[in-house]
Amino acid sequence: MNYKITPPAHRSRLAFDLPLSKSMSNRALLISALTKGGIDDSIRFADCDDTKAMKSGLLKEAEGGHVNVGAAGTAMRFLTAFFASRPGVEVVLDGSERMRKRPIGLLVDALKSIGADITYEMEDGFPPLRIKGGELRGGVVKIPGSVSSQYISALMMIGTTMTDGLTIKLEGKIISLPYILMTAVMMMRAGVNVMFHDRKIEIGHCDYSPVAWTIEGDWSGASYWYELTASGATNGVRLGNLRQESIQGDSAVARYFDQLGVDTSFIEENGESVALLSHTNKLVDSLDIDLTGQPDIAQTIAVTSFLLGVPFNISGLSTLPSKETDRLQALRSELRRLGCNIKVINNEIITWDGKKCTPDVNPRIRTYDDHRMAMAFAPAAVNFPGLIIENVEVVSKSYPEFWNNLAGAGFKLEVVK
C-alpha cells in the first residue's frame, strides 16, 4: 500500500506516547529466557514485528524445527547465540530473502570457536543456519569491534551459560558502543557482573536473577517527531515515556537536533518522564557529525538537514550498507528525487554541499522494505505536499502506530496506486 501525504493546513500541539524500545525489549527477552522462570508475560515489551519475532523464536526453543525471523536482524543474531547455548535443541534458523543476504559469518565463527555446532544450509556466511545446541565451554573470543554490536551483545548475554565464562576481546575500532553498553547495563540489572576495560569484556559463569523489566520509550522513534518539529509543522510535541538519562544511544538525537532548531526539555508527570520538543530558529550553518554510536538516526538527520537547507557531512555509517537495505545507496537515490545530490564516500560517509537540483515532479519515495526509509521521508511532505511513500506497511517492524500518529498530527494520508 502507498500513501499520498498532505501536510496539515494549521499547526497544532501534539501529545502521545512513543512505542517501547525494541532494542531494550529484545535484550530483556533474551535475558529473561535465560533466567529461571523464563519470560514473564505480565511485562510490557515493544509491540512490533522485530520483538514479536524475537519472542516467538525464544518460545520455540522446546519445539526445535524451523524458526523464521523474517526481516528481524536483531532476532537473527540473538537467537543464533541463544540456540547454540541450549543443550538438546536443534533448529534451522532462517529469515526473509534480504536476511539471507545479510552476513552472519563472524558471529558463527566466534560461536564455533567456543564449541558451538552450527552449519550453513545454503551459502557459507549467511542464513539459513542449522544449529545444534550444546553446553559451550567459553573462554576467549576475538572479534572485530567494527562488526554489528548485535554480534557482541549476543555473545555477551549467553556468556553466563558457559562453563569457563567468556572473555570477548574487541579488535580495532569499536562502533555502536552505546548498544554494547546497553547490553552490559541490562545484564547487570539482572545480577550479572560485566567487566569492560581495555577493549575486553569479561563475564563469569553464573545465573541471571529475575527482573521486572520497565522498557523505555523508543528514542529512535522519537527522531521522526524531532524532524517534524524542526520543519516547523507543529506547535510543539509532547512525547511520553522518554527519559533524559536513558541507556539508549539514540537519545543523542536531542543533542543533534539542537543544531537543527529543536529544543528539548523534560518534566515529570505522574512519576513518568516526558520530553517536550519546541521549534527554535537556531540553525547551524552546516552540520558535521559522527554517528558511529547512533547509525539508525542517520536517515532522519540527513533528510531533515536537506529540508532545512543545511549542508552536512555525516560519518560513522559503516554498518548501514548491511541493514534492511543498503541505506547509504537508498538515501542517495531517494534524496535525489527531492532535488538533493549527496555523495557517499568509502561506504561510511555521506555529504551534501547545499546545492539543489531539479526534484521529480510528484516524487515517490521507495522504501526498500526498510521501516526507517518510510518514516524518515514522510515528514518531507511538509516541503513536498502530495509526496508519495511506497509500501507503508514496513513501519510495523519498529513503529506500527506511526501512520496513525501522523494522521493524528493533522496529516492527510490518501491510499494511491
Query: Which position among 296, 326, 353, 360 bears the catalytic label?
Result: 296
Residue 303 CB: number of other CB atoms within 10 A? 27
How far apart are the C-alpha atoms of 401 and 417, rounded to whole Å?
22
Element (H, E) at 224: helix 219-230
- What's the burial of 398, exposed, middle or buried (CB within 10 Å: 0-12/13-18/19+)? buried
- Reading phi first (left if > 0) and then psi (alpha if -120 to 50, else beta), residue 160 is in alpha
Cell of 142: 576475538
Beta bridge partners of residue 292, listed in sequence order = none
Residue 226 CB: number of other CB atoms within 10 A? 28
Residue 91 CB: number of other CB atoms within 10 A? 25
Assign 199 to helix, strand or coil. coil
**415, amino acid identity:** V
Residue 297 phi/psi, 5-degree rounding, is -100, 10
How far apart are the C-alpha atoms of 47 and 210, rounded to whole Å?
22
How far apart are the C-alpha atoms of 262 and 285, rounded to whole Å?
15
Q: Return the residue matching grid coordinates 548475554.
A: 157
Residue 14 phi/psi, 5-degree rounding, is -105, 150
Catalytic (active site) residue 296: yes
Residue 169 phi/psi, 5-degree rounding, is -100, 120
Question: Which whole-number Å values give the CA distances from 261 to 8, 111, 194, in the listed order?
Answer: 20, 46, 39
Question: Which whole-number Å values give the CA distances from 395 to 28, 210, 297, 374, in the listed order?
Answer: 22, 32, 15, 7
Q: Would you say the C-alpha torsion 188, 193, 197, 202 has a positive or negative sign?
A: negative
CA atoms within 13 A on the CB side of 205: 11
Which residues are identified as catalytic? 296
